[in-house]
Amino acid sequence: MKTRIIIFAAAVIGLASCKKLDVNPPDKLSSSGFWKTPADADLALTGLYGTLENSNAGSFSPVLWDDFSDNAYSQNSQGGSQQSLIAGLTPTIGGYVTDVNSSVYTAAYVSIAATNSFLANVGKVLTGDKLNQYKGEASFIRAFDYFLLAQTYGNVPILTADPVTADPKAKLTKSNREDVLKLIESDLDLAIASLPDNKYTTGHVVKASAQGIKVRVLLFEKKYAEAAALAKTIIDAGQFSLNSNYAANFYKPDQRTSPEIMFSIQFQAPSVPQPFPITILIIGTGYKDLQGTQDMINEYEPNDPRKTMTFFFPGDTQAQGWPYPNTVGTPGVNNWTVGFYPAKKWLDPKSIDPQPGMLDDQDYVWLRFADIKLMYAEAQNEAIGPDASVYKQVNEVRARPGVNMPALASGLSQEAMRDKIRHERRVELALEGTRYFDLRRWGVAQQKLNGFIQNPLTPATKTIYRANFDFWPLPQSEVDRNSPNLIQNTGY
């Protein structure tokens, strides 16, 4: 992978992007002729965001991560989720886990290499506040990449040097997880200090984007008091609020004006469509890649409208958003697997009769204000117990206009409140890529996923989850290439 990363880093500035950065960068640029003017920094920054969009980085889509959990099912096993759940994780399983072209490992390190190259060179053409801001944006992206690696694989190599000048024959070795997390926090702290304290409107990350991802990192590290304090800082700043239209967070054009979205990977059809069209993955001809399990459906409380905003149900018509004209939703028809529930969240309600070849451009939303409020509640409850502020944040998420769920009962114990917060995270953030990581950091993934029956109609088919699955195996091709320096994760 080392050679491939170096080649990519030299050409990364040629990637297209849809953000309000520069939507028409050159197709390819030579590194030797680059870094001459401030405009080059704009093109290179566009390229950095492009590393989160390109077709080999499906792992940067939050949409399909729920397929690895008890929330959803993938008939087509997009990303290798179904294979890993039924057969178990191995160092050669492919997909998101170990595929040489599309694994989380490869995609993250390609992005990291591009970021390292940017950070090493941007000072040649920028100075002052603009230089600081651009470094802040790049540092955020690198922290985002490394946190995805740390959550997924655990101990991973730390690379911070410009890959263009690095020794291509050098063999990688794993760093301590503590050192990886220190780098993540350091990069996020730099981003927090350098980014503008604005709303998130242009595709450029802002201060609160970095703060919000750092709250996730602190929760992962079980630094509950610090996580609560930082989440409270975001809440008290008042830059973000809950969208009065819950469903509108997940399709255009409403996504771009939502007061709730704090970080997303943005697309713009036809120039930069999604590499994995959501409309087709969810329900279009030939795919069955995101369908809710009965266990997920059972999690919703009676009359919780988020259930019908997130999934289709038998008998749904076009009035309920069913996208096929003159038909009703029927299990066994239109790629609806009997025993599951096709995803409605992320589906543009304007989509009619979706077919292969459609160019989707719904943004991948990675961080919403509702998540900040629920992370605050979780961290504060773990730090000191269910005080009034914990109730306030959970109840405000439940009371969002259009959701209007009743307030939690008073007098809950810390353990009972923990269960309520975990429930609320599951239903509020369903199909947004948080559930799998939540189960693992809570230490309950084996309990929930080992022997889990995805479809009650086929009870003999059960999922496999062993304790060592809390961290995925490194791709065996990388272990072999860097032997004996790079050692496989325990249990594989």
The total number of structural domains that make up the chain: 1
Are the CB atoms for 188 and 3 separated by under 8 Å?
Answer: no
| Mean pLDDT of the residues in the chain | 90
pLDDT (0 to 100) of residue 334: 80
Flag whether pLDDT at 8 surpasses 80.
no
User: What is the pLDDT averaged over residues 443-449?
Assistant: 98
Are the CB atoms for 418 and 381 separated by under 8 Å?
Answer: yes
pLDDT (0 to 100) of residue 55: 60
User: How far apart, in Å, do the first and last CA atoms of the chain sit?
Assistant: 21
Measuring CA to CA, how many Å separate 139 from each of 120, 209, 250, 398? Answer: 12, 12, 26, 34
Cα–Cα distance for residue pair 327/312, rounded to 1 Å? 13
Are β-strands 261-265 and 364-368 bridged in parallel, bridged antiparallel, or unpaired? antiparallel
More confident residue, 397 or 61: 397
pLDDT (0 to 100) of residue 24: 32
Backbone angles phi, psi at 52, to 5 degrees: -85, -5
The confidence band for 274, taking pLDDT boundaries of 50, 70 and 90, is: confident
Does the residue 292 lie in any domain?
Answer: no
Flag whether pLDDT at 279 surpasses 60.
yes
Cβ within 8 Å of residue 442, ≥6 positions away:
422
Does the residue 123 lie in any domain?
Answer: yes
pLDDT (0 to 100) of residue 286: 58
Flag whether pLDDT at 392 surpasses 80.
yes
Cα–Cα distance for residue pair 42/233, rounded to 1 Å? 31
Q: By percentage, how much of the chain surpasses pLDDT 70?
A: 92
- Interval 400-427: pLDDT, tens: 999 999 999 999 999 999 999 999 999 9
Cα–Cα distance for residue pair 156/89, rounded to 1 Å? 18
Does the residue 272 lie in any domain?
Answer: no
Backbone angles phi, psi at 58, to 5 degrees: -60, -20
- CA-wise closest residue to 264 among 190, 218, 194, 209: 209
User: What is the pLDDT averaged over residues 308-326?
Assistant: 94
Cβ within 8 Å of residue 484, ≥6 positions away:
none
User: What is the pLDDT averaged over residues 192-201?
Assistant: 97
The confidence band for 7, taking pLDDT boundaries of 50, 70 and 90, is: very low
The confidence band for 4, taking pLDDT boundaries of 50, 70 and 90, is: very low
- Which amino acid would we find at residue 356? P
For residues 87, 93, 96, 99, the Cα torsion angle rounded to the nearest 10 degrees is: -170
Poorest-pLDDT segment among 77-81, 120-124, 281-285: 281-285
pTM: 0.93
More confident residue, 58 or 237: 237
pLDDT (0 to 100) of residue 121: 97
User: What is the pLDDT averaged over residues 123-132?
Assistant: 98
pLDDT (0 to 100) of residue 31: 58
Residue with tokens 């080649």: 7
Residue 131's domain comprises 1-57+102-195
CATH of the domain at 132: 1.25.40.890
The confidence band for 77, taking pLDDT boundaries of 50, 70 and 90, is: confident
pLDDT (0 to 100) of residue 2: 40
Does the residue 273 lie in any domain?
Answer: no
Measuring CA to CA, how many Å separate 212 from each of 205, 217, 399? Answer: 11, 9, 22
Measuring CA to CA, how many Å separate 208 from each of 3, 218, 232? Answer: 35, 15, 11
Residue with tokens 């880093």: 9
pLDDT (0 to 100) of residue 276: 74
Poorest-pLDDT segment among 180-184, 344-348, 366-370: 344-348
pLDDT (0 to 100) of residue 57: 57
pLDDT (0 to 100) of residue 5: 38
pLDDT (0 to 100) of residue 25: 35
- Which amino acid would we find at residue 46? T
Q: Which residues partner with 365 through β-bridges?
A: 264
Cα–Cα distance for residue pair 310/435, rounded to 1 Å? 15
User: What is the pLDDT averaged over residues 76-97?
Assistant: 89
Flag whether pLDDT at 224 surpasses 70.
yes
Does the residue 176 lie in any domain?
Answer: yes
Does the residue 112 lie in any domain?
Answer: yes
Does the residue 207 lie in any domain?
Answer: no
Does the residue 437 lie in any domain?
Answer: no
